[in-house]
Amino acid sequence: MKEFAIIQTGGKQYLVQEGDTLKIETLKGPLGKDGYAAMKVGDKVSFDEVLLSDNGKDATTVGMPFIKGAKVEATIEKIAKAKKVVVIKYKAKSNYFKKRGHRQPFMEVKITKLA
């Protein structure tokens, strides 16, 4: 068994190992004097909300709720929008029809280090 961790970001939990690629909710960049800076492809991201960590041999650490000092580092591979989700509201015989579309932004990150 390899080393793995469970992280929390964007209100969701992910089981990750080194080398994994996953899609997550878009993250804000660092806060500067002009507001939040935009993140770019190639930027490094650090996840501090580690819920569980396993070294792959004998030790498993469970946080309550998070493990102090634990970090998972990643780099941003891609920033894009998901496929369009179309929502249609329709009521028969009452001339009511609404069609709305939404494309959720996401980031694709590659896990580089479990610490």
Domain ranges of the chain: 4-114
- C-alpha 98/C-alpha 60 separation (Å) is 51
CB of 20 within 8 A of CB of 7? Answer: no
Amino acid letter for position 2: K
CB of 25 within 8 A of CB of 39? Answer: no
In this predicted model, what pLDDT tens digit does every residue of 62-114 receive, in sequence order? 989 999 999 999 999 999 999 999 999 999 999 999 999 999 999 999 999 99
| pTM, 2 dp | 0.83
Structure token pair of residue 55: 């070294």
